[in-house]
Amino acid sequence: MEHRIAYDPLLHIYNRDYCSKIISEQSNLNLMFPLSIAMVDIDHFKNVNDTHGHQAGDQVLYTVAQTVCKEVVPNGVVCRYGGEELIIFFPQQTARQVAPLVEKMRKTIEKTATKQRKRPSG
């Protein structure tokens, strides 16, 4: 039940509630270890929904979320923060350690094609 509450069923990643839980737990701790956070925001996403429809937008979101997971897990925890925004927590890692991984992830997303489901004809 806890998993269902903390999980985004569309993107197959953690949701904003889980993200908030991580932030609140970290803010109560004495951060002896570093914590790095990266934000992913899909450029021009509104155009995808407006031009190709929300189903295509959902597919883009799913593809990006799964690509992010493949690139950063197990080093990071990926959560959906907002509409097309994802947040990644990198516990016990500095920004300097995380920067190359995030840049590699960005390049991978840039090269990733999204498969569109065929619309029924008629």
Catalytic site residue from 84, 85, 103, 110: 84
Q: What are 38's strand-pairing partners?
A: 88
Query: Which two tokens mark 14?
Result: 């953690």
- Note the pLDDT tens digit of each residue in 43-66: 889 999 899 999 999 999 999 999
* Interatomic CA distance for residues 117 and 69, integer angstroms: 22
* Interatomic CA distance for residues 33 and 30, integer angstroms: 9
- Note the pLDDT tens digit of each residue in 68-93: 999 999 989 999 998 899 999 998 89
Task: Count CA within 13 A, CB hemisphere, residue 71.
Answer: 23
pTM: 0.77
84 is catalytic: yes
- What domains lie within the chain, and their CATH numbers? 2-111 (3.30.70.270)
The residue among 84, 85, 72, 83 whose CA lies nearest residue 39 is 85
